[in-house]
Homo-oligomer: A and B are copies of this chain.
Amino acid sequence: MSTASKMLESHPQPLGEIDRVKLTASIDACAECNQACTACADACLSEDDVDDLTKCIRTCLDCADICATTSRALSRQTGYDPVLTKAVLEACVTACKASGEECARHAEHHLHCRICAEVCRRCEQACRDLAESGNRT
């Protein structure tokens, strides 16, 4: 059980309509994606072909910031606001899709882009799953 999951279980407020497993998966995926995108942007900076990677670096920096914010917003349960959660998840899905596609374009040449593309896609899927579970209820 991840720390995010333990923190969620020990929260005094009941989760209500939110799927706990999907919520934890999104919190953890966003934290992982923040780290991977930060590291990938930096690894790109050290590559000989950095001038071909500038869009990739920019997209990774945006994705890192948005994932960091999403992981935090999802970690909060007090005064839960489904409209805000949905808007944040949609921005995160968009950022992960953009970053995943850009990294995938360089996946053959750079292992860090291949790893980062996979992390972005997992995070995109986790946020999509959570957003859709909210719609159903």
User: Interface on A for B, CB 8 Å cutoff?
Assistant: 3-4, 6-8, 10-13, 27, 31-32, 34-36, 38-43, 45-48, 50-51, 54-55, 57-59, 61-62, 64-66, 68-69, 71-73, 75-79, 81, 83-84, 87-88, 90-91, 94-95, 98, 102, 110-112, 115-116, 119
Interfacial chain B residues near A98, Cβ < 8 Å: 81, 83-84
* 5 A-B pairs with least C-beta separation: A55-B79, A7-B39, A10-B111, A87-B94, A10-B112
Copies in the complex: 4
Docked-complex contact B62 and A66, CB < 8 angstroms: no
Smallest Cβ-Cβ distance to A61: which chain B residue: B76
